[in-house]
Structure 1
Amino acid sequence: MKAFSKYFTAFATGLLFLGTGSCKKALEETPYSFYSPENFYKNESDARAAINGVYAELYTYDLYLQPFWNMTILDDDHVSGADWFLGTTGAGNPQAYFGWEKPWVGCYAIIARANTVLENVINISTMDEEIKNRILGEAYFLRGWAYFQLVQLYGGVPIRLKSLSAAEPETNIPRATVKETYDVVISDFKNAETRLLPLGHPKAGETGRVNQGVAKAFLAKTYLTMASGAATGNVTVRGGTDNGYYTYAKTIVAGYEGIDSKAFYTLARDKAAEMIDSKLYTLTPSWKDLWSIAGRNNKEQMWELQSLAGTAFVNNLGAYFSARSTFGQGAVWTTNNHYKDYDEADARVLDGITHNYTTLQGTNIFYPFAQAALYKVVNGITYNNTNSTTAERAYTIKYSAVADPSVANSDAFYPLLRYSEVLLMYAEAENEINGPTTLAYNALNTVRFRCYPTTGTPAVPVPAAYAPANMSPEQFRSFVLAERAREFNLEGIRRFDLMRWGIYLQVMNKISTGQNNISKVRAKRNLLLPLPLNELNSNKAIPSNNPDW
């Protein structure tokens, strides 16, 4: 963390030679103003500075300072919040949000910078070959990650694998198909996998960089996304206005036609198995500790967005998601209905939801009203709850552990990949290939056991910890989807899960109007985000926007 932050401070905020010119227009790759590639890429220090410039885009208002998580976390069935904040992207109206074009711009900025790294670092002869390969692997990974986000959010997109130059002058690039875009994602992740070093290798790089395990996991996630998008069958989801169980018929997601679902599930399972068998990663024993400052960058948090108090690398996650906030109370919380989808003994609600808090104005509040016996009086302090919209807010602890909660922009870390997702990817894929085998159950229950108490001698998980026995493949599929919702609540995964399974519209519209009068009504156009106007105006090879935008 120290070394990585030092490089970011020196180069991402000092030079910024990789950042100032590439965000003015989508897909615009003008030469950087401070240094030309011929004059800059001379040694290992230059190569490190260049790859840091690629990472630095994650920290901008194109991506994780707000727009990317705003447009993904706020748009699912399990999130509620203040109407002044969720009234745009959270209500299915992304174009009313100031940052609606930013994910496209940010991802293409990463692609442009990664292209420059790939084209120039390869020619540096005066640096350690392992570190050179690692930096190239990081560039391949980050470019693949950007295309992975783009294809999920927008469908098939223009592919540019070289920088604009006299030899590559064309700016009018047509959209590739969904499958063609995924081919690029897979190729880049494979290239990254072969060049990056494993966790623990002395040259794997500073904390916060991607490593070989992260590339493998994202390759598995890509295969899983493609496989589920191409799958058919039924999925049962808890929701609607009555929080009942509803079964939806799944059809193939548009753009995923012709993909062999079982073959890609096999690829996903086998790649996830490599990660499990490597034993390089493990779950944090305590759910609460996972989200503490001490729990950052542990062997479960495979890739986290690093933040550092007192630098430019901060965000406003803590202010928006925490119970006590610079707003008085946070603006985003988990719905009461989703809260009820956890068992009472599950640490993800016992410890993962803030049950007692004091607002900035000094009001003591407990949650939920139905559990007053547990939370109304704690350590001699009486907390209030009027059972109103104001009081019934299930705030997560995930972004609360910051150095200074009194400031709006703080050093909350953002999870980009956790080992628990590798386990749940394996469980899902194995079930889709062979049904709910012992291997599938073991992976699923490993995630669940961490969240429950034990009993007896020797200690074993309490009965509630075990996933229901003897499930059918369809029941297991639905249970894993629900488990992912419980495990990754407010981490920006639920929306993608509903989309890849082709049930987003059904699930959202079954709710209609959600908690705090947040509209969950969605139309077909909400299946993809609108393309930026700058892109449509400047790229003549794209004749129209996504459907109905």
Structure 2
Amino acid sequence: MKNIISKILLGSIVAGTGMVYMSCANELDMKPQDWYVPETFWKTKTEFEGNQIALANQFRGFTYQVMFSAGELRSGIFTLSTIDGSGTADADVIQQVVDVSHPQFSNFGGWHGMIANYNEVLYRCENEGVEILDEDTRKGLMAMAYGQRAYCYFQMYKMYGGVPLRTVPDVLLGEYDPEKLYMARATAEETLNFIKDDVKKSIELFNESNYVFKSNKKDYYWSKAASEMLAGEVYLWSAKVATGDHAAGGTSDIQTAKGYFENVIGNYGFALQSDFYSIWTSSHNKEAIFSVCYSSEEDGVYYTSPETNFLWARTTGAAGNNYWSTMDDDGWGKISGKAYRFGRWCEEKDGKLTQRTSKVWDKANFGVMRYLYKNALYYHFDEADSRGDAFYPQYHLTDADRGTKTLMLNKFDPHDYKLAGCFVIKFRPSIIAGSNYYQFKVDVPVYRLADAHLKLAECCNYLDD
């Protein structure tokens, strides 16, 4: 840029003396080497692969904004109140109020934005990629794109049924006419068949390629195992759920789904973790099939929502009175002049859940509480299921301790006690380098091995196996 400016100045000086000089138009048309636009990108294998990292970062934005809101939040396990008096967020979603006046998501949840990028990957691989990439890489990247596109369309299908099926990067190719870009919604059956075709193409291309992207962090990126998990999900859903003109039923789709889940369990070397916590606290563990990265301090992006919205933090309401939660004989509420604090993190030691010495909330800087699980959620856990001990915080003020301290409970009996704060501690916070406050520096599993076992069991139930 400095040379360009110098030549422009030189040209002005020469022109001022009446001398004839050559145009600097060629220099002005030069593009900076790090200025990535379609004309300067997609020129090397490194750029094709770097695009996958960018897509993974973009996908991360859907983890809470859409996936939690369209999934767990609608599962029926939340109350419409909190223990700190703050307002519950997304009450309409929790109550399944979905109609014309309350669509909950606009523009099909924004998934078409991701799909546009996968369409471009496929287009580039079928054009520039033929000359630039070796066949293993080209087919591997296309396999990833087909699988990821199918995943996006499947999320939309579960929310909307039939949707517009856009497969070409129209705008990229110079089409800006809104009338020509308009696309009617496909039927539910057409959409589901399209998804099945896409995931089938993904698996076929993976079979034709030995390409593995970022083998040391492969669960952050789409893989053949992820496509098989998706295929199993799609066929299981197809068999179970009637949508629009798609009729559910028949054992053929169940048998197909069963085969995919058996492949995931038996063919990839995945293994169940020996304890529940390590699933969430160990990056790239043997159970992880496809995960969203939140554990890299290099990225500086951590999974703060919705976790922090389950917790009563120092910024809530009466924080100036130095308490976060109180309980009196009439239930949850403030007790004048008394501050019952909770916040000791519970960890497993010598086979038991015990309190850590430090108080987790001393370095918490979260926002107000927005979500609260129902006590009934606890009843879903078998007595021998260690996940039942993973609810945090569990506490009860005994008569002897009332007004002085709170107790963590290694064995929580929901008949006698309540879940306070009601946060499942599968996502555990830690202090990030250079910070004084806790962050949830943990990856978010989208597919993990236990999920394959669960869905395989569901298939077997349908088949009376």
Q: Shorter-chain TM-score category?
A: 0.5 to 0.7
Q: Distance in 2 between matches of 1:338 and 1:368?
A: 17
Alpha carbons of 1:186 and 1:309: their partners in 2 closer, same or farther (altered >3 Å)?
A: same
- Structure 2: state its 5+ residue gaps: 1-34, 312-342, 344-360, 397-403
SS in 1 for 2:74: coil
Q: Distance in 1 between matches of 2:285 and 2:251?
A: 33
Report what 2:222 is aligned to.
Answer: 210
The match for 2:301 among 275, 300, 313 is 313
8 Å contact from structure 2 (residues 289, 449) kept in 1 = yes
Report what 2:445 is aligned to.
Answer: 415
Q: Distance in 2 between matches of 1:149 and 1:271?
A: 19
Report what 1:235 is aligned to.
Answer: none
The match for 2:426 among 398, 409, 414 is 398
Report the AA paired with residue 304 of structure 1: S
Aligned CA RMSD, in angstroms, stands at: 3.7
8 Å contact from structure 2 (residues 140, 209) kept in 1 = no
8 Å contact from structure 1 (residues 301, 419) kept in 2 = yes
Structure 1 residues 244-280: Cα deviation after superposition (integer angstroms, max 9, x where no partner): xxxxxxxxx3326445531110110111122222152
The match for 2:190 among 157, 180, 183 is 180
Report what 2:260 is aligned to.
Answer: 271
Alpha carbons of 1:186 and 1:403: their partners in 2 closer, same or farther (altered >3 Å)?
A: farther
Q: Distance in 1 between matches of 2:164 and 2:210?
A: 37
Q: Distance in 2 between matches of 1:331 and 1:75?
A: 15
Alpha carbons of 1:279 and 1:121: their partners in 2 closer, same or farther (altered >3 Å)?
A: closer
8 Å contact from structure 1 (residues 199, 212) kept in 2 = no
Q: Distance in 1 between matches of 2:413 and 2:68?
A: 31
Structure 1 residues 468-517: Cα deviation after superposition (integer angstroms, max 9, x where no partner): xxxxxxxxxxxxxxxxxxxxxxxxxxxxxxxxxxxxxxxxxxxxxxxxxx
Alpha carbons of 1:408 and 1:68: their partners in 2 closer, same or farther (altered >3 Å)?
A: farther
Q: Distance in 1 between matches of 2:101 and 2:443?
A: 24
The alpha carbon displacement at 1:417 in A equals 0.8
Report the AA paired with residue 423 of structure 2: Y
Report the AA paired with residue 63 of structure 2: Y
Alpha carbons of 1:77 and 1:397: their partners in 2 closer, same or farther (altered >3 Å)?
A: same
Report what 2:314 is aligned to.
Answer: none
Report what 1:539 is aligned to.
Answer: none
Report what 1:121 is aligned to.
Answer: 125
TM-score (norm 2): 0.67
Q: Distance in 1 between matches of 2:193 and 2:440?
A: 38
Report what 1:233 is aligned to.
Answer: none
SS in 2 for 1:254: coil
Q: Distance in 1 between matches of 2:59 and 2:237?
A: 22
Alpha carbons of 1:98 and 1:199: their partners in 2 closer, same or farther (altered >3 Å)?
A: farther
Q: Distance in 2 between matches of 1:278 and 1:132?
A: 24
The alpha carbon displacement at 1:50 in A equals 2.5
Q: Distance in 2 between matches of 1:37 and 1:356?
A: 57
Identity of aligned residues (%): 18
Report what 1:371 is aligned to.
Answer: 413
SS in 2 for 1:431: helix
Alpha carbons of 1:180 and 1:363: their partners in 2 closer, same or farther (altered >3 Å)?
A: farther
SS in 2 for 1:340: helix
1:344 correspondence with 2:383: yes
The alpha carbon displacement at 1:225 in A equals 0.7
Structure 1 residues 26-83: Cα deviation after superposition (integer angstroms, max 9, x where no partner): xxxxxxxx655343211111211323333232233xx225343133221121233634
8 Å contact from structure 1 (residues 88, 97) kept in 2 = no
TM-score (norm 1): 0.57
8 Å contact from structure 1 (residues 144, 185) kept in 2 = yes
The within-5 A match list for 1:206-355 is: 206-207=217-218, 208-229=220-241, 253-255=242-244, 257-292=246-281, 295-307=282-294, 308-309=296-297, 311=299, 313-317=301-305, 318-321=307-310, 326-327=365-366, 331-351=370-390, 354-355=393-394
Number of aligned residue pairs: 358
The alpha carbon displacement at 1:353 in A equals 5.0
Q: Distance in 1 between matches of 2:268 and 2:210?
A: 12
8 Å contact from structure 1 (residues 51, 117) kept in 2 = no
Higher mean displacement: 192-201 or 94-103: 94-103
Report what 1:8 is aligned to.
Answer: none
1:143 correspondence with 2:152: no
Q: Distance in 1 between matches of 2:139 and 2:209?
A: 15
8 Å contact from structure 2 (residues 45, 133) kept in 1 = yes
8 Å contact from structure 1 (residues 67, 102) kept in 2 = no
SS in 2 for 1:338: helix
Alpha carbons of 1:392 and 1:426: their partners in 2 closer, same or farther (altered >3 Å)?
A: same
8 Å contact from structure 1 (residues 304, 417) kept in 2 = yes
Alpha carbons of 1:402 and 1:158: their partners in 2 closer, same or farther (altered >3 Å)?
A: farther
The alpha carbon displacement at 1:330 in A equals 5.1
Report the AA paired with residue 240 of structure 2: S
The within-5 A match list for 1:54-65 is: 54-60=55-61, 63-65=62-64
Larger Rg: 2
Report what 1:152 is aligned to.
Answer: 158
Q: Distance in 1 between matches of 2:70 and 2:438?
A: 20
Q: Distance in 1 between matches of 2:57 and 2:224?
A: 20
Higher mean displacement: 126-135 or 403-412: 403-412
1:108 correspondence with 2:115: no
Q: Distance in 1 between matches of 2:176 and 2:431?
A: 47
SS in 2 for 1:394: strand
SS in 1 for 2:166: coil
SS in 2 for 1:416: strand
- Structure 1: state its 5+ residue gaps: 1-33, 230-252, 374-384, 438-549
